[in-house]
Amino acid sequence: PLAGRWDGRLSQKGLQLAFDADDAPIARWYRVIAPSLPELKQARIGGTLGMHAELGLPEGAVALRPRIAAFTVEGLGSEALLGARSSCGPSARLTADSWLARAVISAEDQRFFQHPGYDLEELGAALAANQKSGGVERGGSTLTQQLAKLAITGSERSGERKLREMLYAVEMEQTLGKARILQLYLDNAPWGGTLCGAEAAARRYFGRSARTLEPAQAAWMAAMLHKPSAELSQWQATGSIDAARFKRVAEGIRGISRAQRETLLRGVAAARFAAPS
């Protein structure tokens, strides 16, 4: 049901394979790759997908260059999240210009306001980084995909879960919009141990509302999100989290003035936050 061409070149150094898949309906790709997904019974999936892929042996290096056009999803019911309440506690009611929202976007999804729920550029960078390190060093999931995992699909490590996550992420971009997606993510994100939600985390860690966090406090919380429980344990054991990541998050915050950035970076350099008990 899917068409394409492949060729290979064998040399003394190894085997190089290349594959070009023709553009085909995304719904067809899903039916071929994961026909048992329950969402396929109700989802109306639009758009096309094609791909160029390369594989080098024996090192096992993989390069993927997908082509996606007009990807749409309807029928999964994600609009119900418009009025959803978080089980993590009261909503922080943060807007995109708050310090914590800006810091979280810097930490987790720099192109949040440009992508349609998935980020092919980030996925490619994550694949390259993980192959280089030999492990999972970089995720590649957008905030929208992370919200789909938190609210719907769960965190099971499987290819099928990632495919389900993609469907919900694309639909949520169309039914919820960026502002609500960002708010829902902040209100449900894990922040170490059993703690979740920006408001609960801000009050626990800094004794104040998420809306009134100092810039360096916001960057600190955002830097915890990639491994919240591990960062919390390190904070409690050593009095600090990953210092390099904390600095990168602060430096990556966008949409602020020069004076605000200078104040933020001074705060980062001087940051010494008491560890929660």
Q: What is the mean predicted confidence (pLDDT) over 240-256?
A: 97
Query: Given this model, what pLDDT does residue 277 score?
Result: 83
Query: Given this model, what pLDDT does residue 123 score?
Result: 80
Over residues 73-101, the pLDDT tens digits come to: 999 999 999 999 999 999 999 999 999 99
d(CA 189, CA 221): 11
Query: Given this model, what pLDDT does residue 1 score?
Result: 79
List, in sequence order, every residue forming a beta bridge with 52; answer none if it has no partner: 20, 65
d(CA 91, CA 79): 18
Q: What is the mean predicted confidence (pLDDT) over 244-258?
A: 97
- Tokens encoding 242: 């990953």
d(CA 205, CA 274): 8
197 near 188, Cβ under 8 Å?
yes
Which helix (H) or strand (E) segment is 186 a member of?
Answer: helix 178-188
- When the pLDDT of each residue in the chain is averaged and rounded to a whole number, the result is 94
Phi, psi of 143 (to 5 degrees): -60, -35
**Residue that has been written with the tokens 């929208």 in this structure:** 144
Query: Given this model, what pLDDT does residue 131 score?
Result: 65
46 near 72, Cβ under 8 Å?
yes
Q: What is the mean predicted confidence (pLDDT) over 26-34?
A: 97
Cα separations (Å) of 183 from 45, 188, 199? 26, 9, 11
Give the strand order in the sheet containing 4-11: 4-11, 14-25, 44-57, 61-74
Over residues 42-77, the pLDDT tens digits come to: 999 999 999 999 999 998 888 889 999 999 999 999
Q: Which of 122-126, 217-221, 229-233 is least confident?
A: 122-126
Q: What is the mean predicted confidence (pLDDT) over 30-40?
A: 96
Query: Given this model, what pLDDT does residue 171 score?
Result: 98
Residues 6+ apart with CB under 8 A from 28: 1, 2
For residue 54, what is the DSSP state? Answer: E
- Tokens encoding 168: 């919900």
Which helix (H) or strand (E) segment is 175 a member of?
Answer: helix 159-175
Over residues 127-172, the pLDDT tens digits come to: 766 566 665 555 679 999 999 999 999 988 888 999 999 999 999 9
Q: How confident is the model at residue 188 (pLDDT cuts 50, 70, 90)?
A: very high
Cα separations (Å) of 45 from 8, 26, 116? 33, 7, 14
Q: What is the mean predicted confidence (pLDDT) over 209-231?
A: 98
Query: Given this model, what pLDDT does residue 124 score?
Result: 75
pTM for the complete prediction? 0.92
- Tokens encoding 146: 């992370």
Phi, psi of 249 (to 5 degrees): -60, -45
